[in-house]
Amino acid sequence: MFRGGAACGACYQLICDAKADPKWCLRRSAVTVTATNFCPPNNHGGWCDPPRRHFDMSMPAFFLIARRGNEGIIPVLYRRVACKRSGGVRFTLKGQSNFNMVMISNVGGSGSVRAVWVKAGGGSWVPMHRNWGANWQSQSDIRSKTISFRLTLEDGKTLFFPNVVPSTWRFGQTFASQNQFF
């Protein structure tokens, strides 16, 4: 379901399956969650390697669809939904001088980024490659340059983010754009 991190950023609406577990489900309650690349270790031999599809949820989200007292596993029904975001797409710069990585977050629309290109200064557009989840990497030297991005979502929508990162940026900083997918 997570597709090796490619579904990172996608939004899902969940309801507790009251037919399967009427005791713990809150009827007519739903919660929308965002898929992330964070998941706990398990006893099935690895990270994010469950025996069945599941959502690891925060307690506040969990209690929107389940009664207190059953802080564990509940059956859910889920469907993909559009991501509704406040503010623009965010770019967090990670890495070091010879390895550049950007975490892309707060993506609206389908939420799942399919392709990313980066443009440093007056250079040309260079494709980035998914490292894992919402993290994209490039071998381009982007230090001390204004950075622009071009994103394409899995539904084919593309947006440009011109000069979203100033030339004075440092690793660890996050920059919010004015643009957003709808």
* Domain residue ranges of the chain, discontinuous segments joined by +: 1-81, 90-176
pLDDT digits (tens, 9 = 90+) for 57-78: 889 999 999 999 867 888 999 9
**Torsion sign, CA atoms 89, 62, 6, 96:** positive
CA distance 8 to 134: 6
> 80-91: per-residue pLDDT in tens?
999 999 999 999
Quote the CA–CA distance of 103 and 113 in Å, as a whole number.
11
Contact predicate 133/111, CB 8 Å: no
pLDDT at 171 over 90: yes
Q: Does domain 90-176 have CATH number 2.60.40.760?
A: yes
Nearest Cα to 180, choosing from 110, 102, 132?
110
For residues 58 and 49, give the distance between their C-alpha atoms in angstroms, rounded to a whole number.
19
Task: Give pLDDT tens digits for 10-47.
Answer: 999 999 999 998 888 998 899 999 987 655 555 544 44
